Structure 1
Amino acid sequence: MKRLLKIFERDLKNSIRDSMLLYILIAPILLALLLRAFIPAVKDLSIEFGAVKPIDQTLVKRIEMFAPITLFDNTEKLMERIEEYDDFLGIRVKDEEISLIAQGNESEEYLSLASDILSYSLNPSGSSFTFGETELGRKLPPVSLYGFVLVILGSFLFGGMIIGFNIIEEKEGETLKALRITPMSNFEFIAGRSLIGFFAPIFHAFVVVWILGISDFNPLMLLALTISGSLIGIVFGFWVGVISTNQMNGIANMKISFFVLVLPVFLAITLPEKSHIFLYWAPTYWTFISVKNLLLQLQTWPSLLKDIGLIVATSMIFVLATFKKIRAGLLS
């Protein structure tokens, strides 16, 4: 244990001393601060309405004086549109009563303005109407939700970058050769070097949820997810470290690897769920799904353990595929 902590301490000192590694260490926090500054701007988006046909055309023309309205063939299509990532409100008119259907993540000012528009459109003379609101369950703004997930996934890979750059530095300084004549075993070296790949994402995860003001989540679940999700970042770091001959070569290899691992997350956000089967090979995909469910309060311990199992299993595919190369690179 003492040897493991010594390696971790050395990696941490190298990260602080080297300006590039220090930036990698604080990059997720900088991204979270940038994201936090952007979140209020989401409230400035214009209002959009949707309704199911048939609907009185006079009412439609009055609403379109203030906001666009899209007409749908059935309620199911309207609900699917409301559940998308932007702010979109549904309306249901019956007699002299109107229901406003929302995701539940809109601001009070946004809903109030929408209600005023509909009130005037229904009765310009000023008669009062009863308004109802239906929530579909999502409790976080999309920018907060998907921004947090991407920042956390990025922190896993940034932790791997630190491992990779430290290995490259030791290769250039021929420190790895010197370590072979010490009592330290290969397992101790790999385990000790991996510690920063676990601790950095844990630190980032809890700092980022604080910066973004996310409070309704299970911290033990987040901790378990962060530890399991860090595995792929650690494998990524060792792989880049052993195949790179210098730091410039390492930067190029990291860019390619980063793109391959983050691409499934962007595809999961944009593609319909039925297409997600093609993303099941990626541990970053399962991490994305599990963290998203955690923030939406849809996660349970049985489903979490299943997600962790899938994250570990898919990460092991990468471990088995790269183990011989990593082991040879560390011993060369």
Structure 2
Amino acid sequence: MKRLIKIFERDLKNSIRDGMLLFILIAPILLALLLRAFIPAVKDLSIEFGAVKPINKALVEKIETFAPITFFDNTEKLIERIEEYDDFLGIRMESGEITLIAQGNESKELLSLASEILVQSFNPSGDSFTVGESELGRKLPPLSLYGFVLVILGSFLFGGMIIGFNIIEEKEQETLKALRVTPMRTFDFITGRSLIGFLAPIFHAFVVVWILGISNFNPLMLLVITISGSVIGVVFGFWIGVISTNQMNGIANMKISFFVLVLPVFLAMTLPEKSHIFLYWAPTYWTFVSVKNLLLELQTWSNMLKDISLIIGTSILFALATFRKIRSGILS
């Protein structure tokens, strides 16, 4: 245990002393603060409606004097469009009644204004009229939701970068060879060096949810997901450290690896869900799914355990595939 703590203390001191590594430690917090500055602007977006054909032409003309309407062939396509990242509202006409469909994360002001537009368009005489609202269940603005997911995934990889650059520094100073003649085992070295890759994301996760004003989540679930997701960053860090000969080479390898790991998340945010099967290989995809469900208050312990198994399982597969390379790189 003393050896593990010593390795952790050494990594922490190196991270604070090195300006680039210090930036990596505070980068997720800076990103969260930048994201927070843009979140209020979501309320300033204009209203857009969507509707399924056919719909009364006279009503459409009246609504379009206030806001544009996009038409869809069926309700499923309309729902898919509503669930995208901006404030897009749906209109449904049934039996002479009009229903407003929303995600559930829109501001009260936006929904009130949309309702007033429909009331005025449907019943311009000003008589009493009620518009029904149907929410799709989202309780968090998309900018907060997907911004948090990306910042936390970045935190995992930033923690891995610290591990990787510390290994590169020791390779350049040839201190790894000196460690081979000490009582320290390979297991001690890997475990001690991994600590910062687990502790930094935990710190970042709870600071970022506070910065973004996210309160409706299970803290224990967030802790468990963060710890399991950190495995990705730890494996990533050791891989960068052992395959890189110097810091410049490490930066180049980091950029390529970072792109490969983050790309599945961007694809998951843009592709239809039926296409996600092609992303199942990526541990970052399962982290994205688990964190998203947690923030939307859809996560259960049984589903989370399944997600965690897939996160750790896909990370371990990569670790096993590269274990010999990592081990030989540490001992060389």
- Give TM-score scaled by structure 1 length: 0.96
The aligned amino acid for 1:102 is A
| Counterpart position of 2:106 | 106
Separation (CA, whole Å) in 2 of partners of 1:136 and 1:45: 20
Deviations 1:185-215 (A, max 9, x none): 1110110000000000010111111111111
| Counterpart position of 1:317 | 317
| Counterpart position of 1:329 | 329
Separation (CA, whole Å) in 1 of partners of 2:9 and 2:256: 29
How far the C-alpha of 1:118 sits from its partner, in A, is 1.7
How far the C-alpha of 1:94 sits from its partner, in A, is 5.3
Correspondence 1:63-212 to 2 at 5 A? 63-93=63-93, 97-212=97-212
Contact 2:118 2:131 in 1 (8 A): no
Deviations 1:252-293 (A, max 9, x none): 110001001111111111111111111111111111111111
The aligned amino acid for 1:143 is L
How far the C-alpha of 1:168 sits from its partner, in A, is 0.8
Greater CA drift, 132-141 or 153-162: 132-141
| Counterpart position of 1:222 | 222
The CA RMSD over aligned residues, in Å, is: 1.4
Aligned residue pairs total 332
How far the C-alpha of 1:97 sits from its partner, in A, is 4.6
1:269 aligns with 2:269: yes
| Counterpart position of 1:58 | 58
| Counterpart position of 2:302 | 302
| Counterpart position of 1:288 | 288
Contact 1:24 1:162 in 2 (8 A): yes
The aligned amino acid for 2:23 is Y
| Counterpart position of 1:249 | 249
How far the C-alpha of 1:2 sits from its partner, in A, is 1.0
How far the C-alpha of 1:222 sits from its partner, in A, is 0.9
Q: Which stretches of structure 1, 4 residues or more, deviate above 6 A after TM superposition?
A: none
How far the C-alpha of 1:178 sits from its partner, in A, is 1.4
In structure 2, the gaps of 5 or more residues are none
| Partner secondary structure for residue 54 of structure 2 | coil
How far the C-alpha of 1:133 sits from its partner, in A, is 1.0
The aligned amino acid for 2:160 is G
How far the C-alpha of 1:76 sits from its partner, in A, is 3.1
The aligned amino acid for 1:320 is L
Contact 1:35 1:147 in 2 (8 A): yes
Contact 1:97 1:130 in 2 (8 A): no
- Give TM-score scaled by structure 2 length: 0.96
The aligned amino acid for 1:281 is W
Separation (CA, whole Å) in 2 of partners of 1:60 and 1:31: 42
Contact 1:72 1:78 in 2 (8 A): yes
Contact 1:96 1:129 in 2 (8 A): no
| Partner secondary structure for residue 36 of structure 2 | helix
The aligned amino acid for 1:48 is E
Greater CA drift, 71-80 or 275-284: 71-80
| Counterpart position of 2:36 | 36
Separation (CA, whole Å) in 2 of partners of 1:327 and 1:52: 59
| Partner secondary structure for residue 49 of structure 1 | strand
The aligned amino acid for 2:81 is R
Separation (CA, whole Å) in 2 of partners of 1:84 and 1:190: 42
In structure 1, the gaps of 5 or more residues are none
